[in-house]
Amino acid sequence: MSALQALISELEQEVPATRRLLERVPEDKLTWKPHEKSMSLGQLAYHIAAVPGNISNLLLLDNFDTSQLARERPTAKSLAELMKVLDDGIANAKKIMSGLTDTQATAPWKFTSKEKEIFTVPKIGVARTILLNHWYHHRGQLTVYLRLLDVNLPITYGRSADEDPFT
Residues whose CB falls within 8 Å of the CB of residue 122, separated by 6 or more in sequence, listed in order: 105, 106, 107, 108, 109
Note whether residue 86 is domain-resident. Answer: yes
pLDDT digits (tens, 9 = 90+) for 67-115: 888 788 999 999 999 999 999 999 999 999 999 999 999 999 999 999 8
pLDDT digits (tens, 9 = 90+) for 110-156: 999 998 999 999 999 999 999 999 999 999 999 999 999 999 999 99
Q: Say whether pLDDT at 1 is over 80.
A: no
Note whether residue 167 is domain-resident. Answer: no
Note whether residue 74 is domain-resident. Answer: yes
pLDDT digits (tens, 9 = 90+) for 31-79: 999 999 999 999 999 999 999 999 999 999 999 999 888 788 999 999 9
Note whether residue 125 is domain-resident. Answer: yes
Beta strands in 66-130 (DSSP E): 108-113, 116-122
pLDDT of residue 70: 78
pLDDT of residue 113: 93
pLDDT of residue 53: 95
Note whether residue 162 is domain-resident. Answer: no
The residues with which 39 forms a beta bridge, in sequence order, are none
How many alpha carbons lie under 13 Å from residue 44 in its C-beta half-sphere? 29
Note whether residue 44 is domain-resident. Answer: yes
Q: Number of folded domains in the chain?
A: 1
Note whether residue 163 is domain-resident. Answer: no
Note whether residue 40 is domain-resident. Answer: yes
Read off the pLDDT of each residue in 25-34 and give the average, rounded to a whole number. 98
pLDDT of residue 166: 86
* Domain span at 128: 3-148
Q: Say whether pLDDT at 6 is over 80.
A: yes
* CATH classification at residue 43: 1.20.120.450
pLDDT of residue 2: 87
On whether the CB atoms of residues 24 and 152 are closer than 8 A, the answer is yes
